């Protein structure tokens, strides 16, 4: 598997439900970031969590990081149809270049009205 | 409004005809980068720049050139485009690198026939 791999590849839920996406990575990181991409559009930065942090919140988003398991999760609470998008995790590898984020292939979230 | 502006949004060209995709940011960011996005392969970094006159290769630099003569601009040059460069291209910038979230442009969909 590559550095930064999201699971599941696709997720379909009803409006109002919570959505959880996971990201696993292989090597130690400085930080992990989550991005959203609406179909064919530019990516939008959602949240950055550093390696010494365990949880961060931003509005309806909650991100956790478990460095011992090399994994992160993104929780979207009370989802809306407008949350329909692809979600990517991106890792900044510890000891690597300071100028490269490595992106996963994403989770496609569909929120049905 | 803080943004990264790419042009053109769509481009169809023929094999071998030199082209430039422009990228400009208005946030005084030091770091800029180009990515290409392909189905099944995710986002891959082409080139990045840490500051004016400082550029380096990413994961897939073959067939591309870049320059950083001014802080705000980071054009991507395809000297002799080939069909395997058909892709969705994104320019991104951040304050100093991977320790901050990236701001992405809206993307350039390039087709080489």
The β-bridge partners of A85 are A109
A88: Cα separation from own chain's centroid: 5
Q: What is the dihedral of CA A86, A87, A92, A93, to 10 degrees?
A: -90
Q: Is the pLDDT of residue A106 over 50?
A: yes
Quick one: pLDDT at residue A98? 59
Percentage of the residues of chain A whose pLDDT score is greater than 70: 94
Query: What are B66-91's pLDDT values in tens digits?
Result: 999 999 999 999 999 999 999 999 99
CA distance A70 to B97: 22
Quick one: pLDDT at residue A96? 60
Higher pLDDT, A58 or A28: A58
Mean pLDDT of A40-57: 95
Residue A105 to residue B42, Cβ atoms within 8 A: yes
Q: Is the pLDDT of residue A89 over 50?
A: yes
Count of C-beta atoms within a 10 Å radius of residue A63: 24
Looking at the partner chain, which of B31, B35, B88 has a beta carbon nearest the beta carbon of A40? B88
Residue B33 to residue A88, Cβ atoms within 8 A: no
Q: Is B106 on the interface with A (CB under 8 A)?
A: yes
Q: Is A45 on the interface with B (CB under 8 A)?
A: yes
Is A87 within 8 Å of A104 (Cβ atoms)?
Answer: no
Q: Is the pLDDT of residue A63 over 80?
A: yes
Three-state DSSP class for residue A62: strand
Q: Is the pLDDT of residue B106 over 80?
A: yes
Task: Find residues 51-70 of chain B whose CB sits inside 8 Å of chain A.
Answer: 56, 58
Distance from B47 to chain A by nearest Cα, in Å?
A: 10
B/e letters for B79-91, b = 16+ CB within 10 Å, e = fewer, are: eebeeebbbbbbb
Quick one: pLDDT at residue A1? 44
């Amino acid at each position: 598997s590559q550095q930064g791999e999201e699971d599941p590849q696709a997720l379909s839920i009803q409006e109002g439900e919570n959505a959880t996406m996971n990201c696993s990575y292989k090597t130690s990181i400085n930080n992990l970031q989550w991005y959203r991409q609406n179909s064919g559009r530019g990516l939008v930065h959602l949240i950055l969590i550093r390696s010494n942090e365990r949880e961060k919140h931003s509005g309806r988003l909650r991100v956790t990081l478990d460095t011992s398991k090399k994994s992160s999760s993104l929780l979207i609470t009370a989802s809306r149809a407008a949350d329909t998008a692809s979600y990517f995790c991106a890792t900044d590898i510890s000891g690597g270049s300071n100028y490269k984020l490595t992106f996963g292939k994403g989770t496609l979230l569909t929120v049905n009205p | 409004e803080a943004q990264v502006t790419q042009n053109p949004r769509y481009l169809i060209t023929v094999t071998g005809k030199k082209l430039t995709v422009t990228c400009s940011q208005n946030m005084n960011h030091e770091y800029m980068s180009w990515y290409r996005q392909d189905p099944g392969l995710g986002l891959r970094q082409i080139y990045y720049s840490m500051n004016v006159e400082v550029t380096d290769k990413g994961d897939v630099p073959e067939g591309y050139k870049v320059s950083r003569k001014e802080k705000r601009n980071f054009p991507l040059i395809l000297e002799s485009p080939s069909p395997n460069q058909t892709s969705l291209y994104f320019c991104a910038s951040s304050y100093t690198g991977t320790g901050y979230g990236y701001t992405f442009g809206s993307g350039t969909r390039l087709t080489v026939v």
